[in-house]
Chain A
């Protein structure tokens, strides 16, 4: 079974803190994604990566950055957390080798910024 692991399930951070959300997948997938989920807004793409050291902005990249130094690991970074970044963050991965392949999600990281 594909496993996408988000190491931190629940975090509480203060405004202005730097926040790291880590994600690891165990299926040698090329593509990895970070989404944000908010009630009434669905899932919105923050950043994605097609391969190691490659990254592309999604629909809402402002206030976020990412790092992909190893194929299995994709990190989301909030340089200076703000209260409007309180949300549930979902990491996902997919093989890039075929069209329309399934995206596999982690269980989410709940971030509260106070």
Chain B
């Protein structure tokens, strides 16, 4: 079953715009929510992550917004650039020391046009 639902599947945004990618989860025991960025021909790499004790986290132009009551979290990219064109995956896991598994969303292919 799909425990982390991600949307949209693809997204095209003009340079300078703010793409927003959304994820929703079902399991209230999830307490770690990372986003991974994947360029063509490469493996995914950690971009930014959040825990549910905060509602927002910023790292450079990337921001995660987290809504615990709605069981949703989203990625915003400020002042987007063509170099941000990639596939983005949200994920979630439960803290279980030495026994954590990440559950990934289905991915969003983002294209930033000049």
Determine which of B34, B43, B89 lies in contact with A106 in the assembled complex, contact meaning CB atoms within 8 Å.
Answer: B43
The interface size bin for chain B is 20 to 34
Q: Quick one: which of A35, A58, A99, A106 has the most chain B CB within 10 A?
A: A99
Residues on the B chain within 8 Å of A58, using CB: 101
Chain A residues in the interface with B (C-beta under 8 A): 4, 30-31, 35, 40-45, 48, 50, 58, 90, 92, 96, 99-100, 102-108
Instruction: Assess the B32–A99 pair: CB atoms within 8 A.
Output: yes
Residues on the A chain within 8 Å of B51, using CB: 100
Instruction: Assess the B45–A105 pair: CB atoms within 8 A.
Output: yes
Chain B residues in the interface with A (C-beta under 8 A): 6, 9, 32, 34, 36, 41-46, 49, 51, 89, 93, 95, 97-107
Residues on the B chain within 8 Å of A45, using CB: 101-103
Q: List 15 A-B contacts (CB under 8 A).
A: A31-B98, A40-B9, A40-B107, A41-B106, A42-B104, A43-B89, A44-B104, A45-B103, A48-B101, A92-B43, A99-B32, A100-B95, A100-B100, A104-B45, A108-B43
Determine which of A31, A100, A105 lies in contact with B43 in the assembled complex, contact meaning CB atoms within 8 Å.
Answer: A105
- Decide yes or no: A42 and B98 within 8 Å by CB, A99-B32, A103-B46, A105-B45 being known contacts: no
